[in-house]
Every structure is written in structure tokens, then in C-alpha cells.
């Protein structure tokens, strides 16, 4: 197929960027989206031009490294990661707009590559269970009801890609934050730090400059892992509880 891509090109964080069109004459429908960009880059390199910078690593939909906004939608039209999107989703003659995640807290580094370091800092602010190596008790001494374990697992499938922020009209990272709160908050091991976790993480979320959540739900629709929206409600519940215990106690 013949495909035209409009790609966001931006030399570095300081430069102004713009959309640049490129034409690819022979795109196979079996290619993955990123392989299509690989082909473009080979073409650009041979012409002596700078290839398009984009992030990817596992190309299996699990590491969360990849992610671009395709035709205005993070990770494109299907519920999956950019690396798992295939060209058969598009048709001959299509024009595809490709842009980086855009959010104040995700500054562009180059072209389609952004800095998502804010996510790591949110985890640093409490997204863990303090269990120093060697201190653990025998694993089966901590039974976890299967339903809770399954729910926690579901929330733990977040790959930290940032699509939720890119999709959110408010640039909020609540879904990401809430997924972690839910994962750890549902497990018995996570209880002792439940209050300090939610307070710390939400504070860091705000300090990073992410927007406030108004429950629009674009995040969950864009999320390749389908992290559900009720995680945000759970976060709010924990937050209200923690705040009230903080004021009373």
C-alpha cells in the first residue's frame, strides 16, 4: 500500500517543531506500525537525512517504551500499544498523523521521544511496599483472597506507557497513579503504608504538574491494558480516608 505519514519533527527540547509529510510507496499490511517507521528511517538515512527518533524496546506490548499519538489518538485506533498495531488497520492511500505524547510534564526530547521521568518520581513517592530483602515471611503465610489477588493483578498490568496522560484533556496522570494505589492497596501486604502511599503519590503527581482529574474517562479508553476507571475512585476513597485520618489523628 501507499501511505503518507505526517510526522512531528523537533530537533530537541528547545526547538520548535512541525509536522512533516513523508510518502512510503510500499507498505505491507503485515508490518507493524513501528516497522513501517523503520522502513521510513532506512529510506531517510539512505537519502542522508536524519531519521525520525521514536522510542521502542520490547515490541511485544509489555515494556511500555513505545507510544505515539496516531491520528489524534494515543497508540492509534485499536486498544493496544503502538508496537502491536499493524498496518492492516490502515488502507492504501491513507494519510496518518503521528505526534508525540503531549503534556506539560512529558517534555519532548526529540521528534516523537518524550521524557516520562515524572512517572518514576510518582512511584518514588510511595508506590512500593517496604520489604527489605531478607525480611520476608514464608510466602503462603500471607493468603490473599483470589478475587483481591485478581483485581490487584489487573491494576498491576499497567505498563507505565503514559497514554492515559496523552489522552486526558486535563493532562492528568490519575489513571497511572490510581493503578498503583489499587494494586498495592488491595493486598494485605500493602495495608501498613496505604495512607502514606496515597498522600505521597498524589502530592507528587500534583507537584509534577499533571492536571486534575475530572473523570472524563479518555484515559481508560486509550489505555492499552484497559486499566479500569474505578481505580481512580478507589484512589479518591483512599485519599479521603487518609486525609481525614490525618486531620483527626
Partner 1 sequence: MAVSGLIMIGYLLLHMYGNLKVFAGKEAFDEYAHHLRTFGEPMLPYEGLLWIVRVVLLAAIIVHVYAVVVLWRRNRKAGAVRGARRYYSKKNRTGIQRSYASFTMRWGGLVVLAFIVYHLLHLTTNDIAPGGASDSPYERVVNGFEIWYVVVAYTIAMLAVGFHLWHGIWSALTTLGQNRSSNRIDSRLTGLAVVVTLVITLGFLMPPWAIFLGLEA
Partner 2 sequence: MTSTPNATGDVTPDAPTGASSETETEYHRLGEDIRDTAAPSGPIERRWDDRMFGARLVNPANRRKIKVLVVGTGLAGASAAATLGEAGYQVETFCYQDSPRRAHSIAAQGGINAAKNYRNDGDSIYRLFYDTVKGGDFRARESNVYRLAQVSVNIIDQCVAQGVPFAREYGGLLDNRSFGGVQVSRTFYARGQTGQQLLIGAYQALERQIAAGTVTMNTRHEMLELILVPDAEGVERARGIVVRDMVTGEIESHTADAVVLATGGYGNVFFLSTNAMGSNTTATWRAHKKGAYFANPCYTQIHPTCIPVSGDYQSKLTLMSESLRNDGRIWVPKNKEDAEKDPRDIAEDDRDYYLERIYPSFGNLVPRDIASRAAKYQCDDGKGVGPGGLGVYLDFADAIERLGRPAVEAKYGNLFDMYARITGEDPYERPMRIYPAVHYVMGGLWVDYDLQTNITGLFCAGEANFSDHGANRLGASALMQGLADGYFVLPNTLADYLAGSPFEKIADDHPAVLEARQAVEERLQKMLAINGTRTVDSIHKELGQIMWEYCGMERSEEGLTKAIGLIRELQNEFWTNVKVTGTNEELNQTLERAGRVADFLELGELMCIDALNRRESCGGHFRAESQTEDGEALRHDDEFAYVSAWEHPAEVGGKPILHKEPLEYEYVEMKARSYK
Residues that bind ligand FES (CB under 6 A): 56-59, 61-66, 81-83
| Cβ 175 to ligand SF4 shortest distance, Å | 4
Counting contacts by CB under 6 A, is residue 161 touching ligand SF4?
yes
Counting contacts by CB under 8 A, is residue 206 touching partner 2?
no
36: exposed, middle or buried (Cβ count in 10 Å: 0-12, 13-18, 19+)? buried
Task: Using the minimum distance from each CB to ligand HEM, give the nearer residue, 152 or 178.
Answer: 178
| Cβ 229 to ligand SF4 shortest distance, Å | 10
Are the C-beta atoms of 118 and 208 separated by less than 8 Å?
A: yes
Counting contacts by CB under 8 A, is residue 60 touching partner 2?
yes
In the complex, the residues that contact partner 1 under the rule CB under 8 A are: 6, 8, 19, 69, 71-73, 97, 99, 102-105, 108, 167-172, 209-218, 220-222, 228-230, 232-240
| Placement of cell 484533556 in the chain | 169
User: How many whole angstroms from its chain centre is CA 65?
Assistant: 8
Closest CA to 205 of 106, 133, 135, 122: 122
Counting contacts by CB under 8 A, is residue 63 touching partner 2?
yes
105 interacts with, out of partner 2, ligand HEM, partner 1, none, CB within 5 to 8 A per kind = partner 1
69 interacts with, out of ligand SF4, ligand FES, partner 1, none, CB within 5 to 8 A per kind = partner 1
Distance CA 170, CA 125 (A): 22
| Cβ 155 to ligand HEM shortest distance, Å | 22
User: How many whole angstroms from its chain centre is CA 71?
Assistant: 17
Kindly report the number of other CB atoms within 10 A of residue 45's CB atom: 11
Sheet containing 95-99, strands listed edge to edge, beginning at the edge strand earlier in sequence: 18-24, 3-9, 95-99, 69-70, 73-74
- Residues 73, 129, 221, 243: which binds partner 2 (CB under 8 A)? 129
In the complex, the residues that contact ligand HEM under the rule CB under 6 A are: 214-215
Are the C-beta atoms of 187 and 123 separated by less than 8 Å?
A: no
Q: Site residues (CB under 6 A) for ligand SF4? A: 158-164, 175-176, 179, 222-225, 227
Amino acid at each position: 500500500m501507499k501511505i503518507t505519514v505526517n510526522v512531528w519533527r523537533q530537533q530537541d527540547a528547545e526547538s520548535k517543531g512541525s509536522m512533516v509529510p513523508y510518502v512510503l510507496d510500499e507498505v505491507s499490511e503485515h508490518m507493524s506500525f513501528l516497522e513501517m517507521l523503520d522502513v521510513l528511517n532506512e529510506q531517510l538515512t539512505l537519502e542522508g537525512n536524519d531519521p525520525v527518533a521514536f522510542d521502542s524496546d520490547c515490541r511485544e506490548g509489555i515494556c511500555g517504551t513505545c507510544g505515539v499519538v496516531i491520528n489524534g489518538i494515543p497508540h492509534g485506533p485499536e486498544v493496544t500499544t503502538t508496537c502491536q498495531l499493524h498496518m492492516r488497520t490502515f488502507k492504501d492511500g491513507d494519510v496518518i498523523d503521528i505526534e508525540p505524547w503531549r503534556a506539560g510534564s512529558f517534555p519532548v526530547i526529540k521528534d516523537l521521544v518524550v521524557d516520562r521521568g515524572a512517572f518514576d518520581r510518582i512511584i518514588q513517592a510511595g508506590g512500593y511496599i517496604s520489604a527489605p530483602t531478607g525480611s520476608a515471611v514464608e510466602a503462603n503465610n500471607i493468603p490473599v483472597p483470589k478475587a483481591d489477588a485478581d483485581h490487584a493483578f489487573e491494576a498491576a498490568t499497567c505498563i507505565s506507557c503514559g497514554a492515559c496522560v496523552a489522552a486526558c484533556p486535563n493532562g492528568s496522570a490519575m489513571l497511572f497513579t490510581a493503578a498503583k494505589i489499587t494494586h498495592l492497596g488491595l493486598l494485605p501486604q500493602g495495608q501498613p503504608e496505604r495512607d502514606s502511599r496515597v498522600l505521597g503519590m498524589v502530592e507528587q503527581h500534583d507537584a509534577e504538574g499533571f492536571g486534575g482529574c475530572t473523570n472524563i474517562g479518555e484515559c481508560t479508553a486509550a489505555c492499552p491494558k484497559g486499566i479500569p476507571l474505578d481505580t481512580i475512585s478507589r484512589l479518591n476513597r483512599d485519599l479521603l480516608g487518609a486525609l481525614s485520618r490525618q486531620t483527626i489523628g
